[in-house]
Amino acid sequence: MNEPSKEYGLREGVGHEPRRTFAIISHPDAGKTTLTEKLLLFGGAIREAGAVKGKKARRHATSDWMEIEKQRGISVTSTVLQFSYKNRRINILDTPGHEDFSEDTYRTLTAADSAVMLIDAAKGVEPQTIKLFEVCAMRGIPIFTFINKLDREGKEPLALLEEIEEVLGIRSCPMNWPIGMGQGFLGIYNRSDNRFERFTGRGEEMKSIQADDIESEQLRAELGDELHDKLQEEVMLLDIAGDPFDAELVAQGKLTPVFFGSAIANFGVETFLNQFIELAPPPGPRKTDEGLVEPTDDAFSGFVFKIQANMNPAHRDRVAFIRMCSGKFERGMNVTHVRTGKKISLAQPQQFFGQGREIIDEAFPGDIIGIFDPGSFRIGDTLCETGRFNFEKLPQFSPEHFARVYVKNTLKYKQFHKGLEQLAEEGAIQVYRQVNRTEDMVLGAVGQLQFEVFQYRMKAEYGAEVELTYLPYSIARWIETSDDLDKLNYDRYSNLVVRDQDDHLVMLFPNEFATRWVVEKNPNVVLHTTSFGL
Ligand code: G4P
């Protein structure tokens, strides 16, 4: 039995391990699957490498969604991976990338309390990392950086730090420093305790040397004159010109602690994990329309951040994923679905690991539970015992692909509209209505695959075959303006003005240049990258 957590000031007898709920954000191929697997190994959640299905098994997108489901392996079935490590319960939220990158990926970040940003040392900050980073930055959650693949030639560490600061606009503080790289990678030096960890390659036991300080002769003997001089020089530069570690700034998401390593060689991962669990925040308070809800509050509450349809083709079921924010969850408990006012019993809650599902008996703030959804849940819905409040609305994020959608058989118009409405509510796709031609429906998707899934499900679940005409836009911006719509100057680049499901005005643009043009021509217009706060 683990010690009851004092972190939440829990009532006697309701002890549980403190939670650390986070997501790994990265560009495809940076090594997220590899790093996740190593973390699971440390947590004892898997016994050997290879248990987590690699991306090759889920690489090809096909037009058959069932096939897509089958091939995606862990990225679909493991919305959350949970394991215990050093008296903490770790929840890793999966953020699908590759071809299944979608709005879900962004929304999952709203359920995380912190993020681990994984960067390939050779590639630096890549596009998908930037997008995911921005969502984390919007929420102000702490971001920890792991620079991966040091066993290969990559960019200079100082250049990588500069890139992080310039491209992402976040200050950085290296917690350890790499010595050499690629063939000449010798290991890492931990700045806080002067410990040198020697890189020993895949599968070999790691050797570490505890030095008194960076000038240590023992360290010099281990590294050789040249690399020891370089290490001293670089660390001195960091001490003088770099940002010092500041827990408060980390907590506010303004400073990212940086770690170096090689996930594949399982090097630097344990050091990272040990510091990460000390620094990463426990579940914090969440905003509702009735004020803040604290994780220590007695009554159960949580919100739906993801709805996964047809997870199991044999059952054609839907599962709503709920991020718990307060209280204690017990199987069979009754809660209120606040939007509809209905009482529901949480009888068959599940947690997911790999392909299997496990029925759970209890859960705590920070945990994710999956419940069967008969079709009544929407993204952002609140479930709570008191039935009195709603969590802050989840934002909509800018899609990157747009298409007009038509029903092939006009007799199916009713089914078509029902499908559009339900799939939009489920968050499978964004649906817009053109302002001056309200019968024209426009779809927005963050990832191309969302369109395929949408078409498939419209036919399979609603009996409405649809046709899509792709539109040349790649950016949506939510508009805030005091001007009348017809006074706006926006049609130079055939930008399109539409309304989203909540009736907010949204403008669709072909490129960034067009967005800047509109801002210049319309001083009273403010463009937002998400619907957050509108
Ligand atoms: P992802 O989930 O972020 O897409 O990345 P994944 O872990 O699948 O890793 C992408 C590729 O990078 C894989 O190689 C993986 O072995 C490699 N990789 C991950 N971490 C490291 C590292 O620390 N050092 C080096 N050198 N390579 C690393 P692959 O050849 O594409 O696939 P596979 O044949 O290894 O499965």
- Is 32 annotated to bind a ligand? Reply is yes
Burial class of residue 404 (count of CB atoms within 10 Å of its CB; 0-12, 13-18, 19+): middle
pLDDT of 37 reads: 87
For a ligand 1 pocket test, name from 29, 74, 146, 260 the mutation site with the most ligand atoms within 8 angstroms of its C-beta: 29
Nearest CA to ligand 1 atom 36: 54
Read off the pLDDT of residues 141-156 as tens digits, 9 standing for 90 and up.
999 999 999 999 999 9
149 marked as binding residue: yes
> DSSP secondary structure string, 103-160?
HHHHHHGGG-SEEEEEEETTTBS-HHHHHHHHHHHHHT--EEEEEE-TTS----HHHH
Q: Where are the domains of the chain?
A: 4-279, 286-384, 401-533
**Which residues in the chain come in under a pLDDT of 50?**
1-14, 51, 53-77, 311, 352-356
Answer for the pair 127, 168: CB distance below 8 angstroms, yes or no. Answer: no
> How many other CB atoms are found less than 10 A from the CB of residue 529?
17
Centre of ligand 1 to C-alpha 54, Å, is 9
Using the atom order of ligand 1, give the atom closest to the CA of residue 97: 4
Which of helix, strand or coil describes residue 422? Answer: helix
Ligand 1 neighbours by CB, cut-off 6 Å: 26, 28-34, 54-56, 148-149, 151-152, 262-264
Summarize pLDDT for 382-403 with one digit per residue, the tens. 999 998 899 998 888 999 999 9
CATH of the domain spanning 286-384: 3.40.50.300
CATH architecture of the domain formed by 401-533: 2-Layer Sandwich (3.30)
Q: Which residues of 300-327 are buried (b: 16+ CB within 10 A; e: fewer)?
A: bbbbbbbbbbbbeeeeeebbbbbbbbbb
Helix, strand, coil abundance in the chain, percent, nearest 5: 30, 30, 40
**Structure tokens belonging to residue 498:** 């539409």
Q: What is residue 419's predicted lDDT score, i.e. its pLDDT?
A: 94
User: DSSP secondary-structure letter at 164?
Assistant: I
Query: Structure pTM?
Result: 0.88
**Computed from CA positions of residues 520, 522, 526, 531, in that sequence, does the dihedral angle turn out positive or negative?**
negative
- Say how many Å lie between the CA of residue 34 and the centre of ligand 1: 6
**ipTM higher than threshold 0.90:** yes
Topology alike, domains 286-384 and 401-533: no
Give yes or no for a contact between 359 and 320, defined as CB atoms under 8 angstroms apart. no
pLDDT score of 90: 92
> What's the CA gap between 334 and 93, in Å, rounded?
26
CB atoms within 10 A of CB 273: 22
- Tell me how far apart the alpha carbons of residues 290 and 27 are, in angstroms, rounded to a whole number: 37
Q: What is the pLDDT of residue 9?
A: 38
Protein fold of 4-279: Rossmann fold (3.40.50)
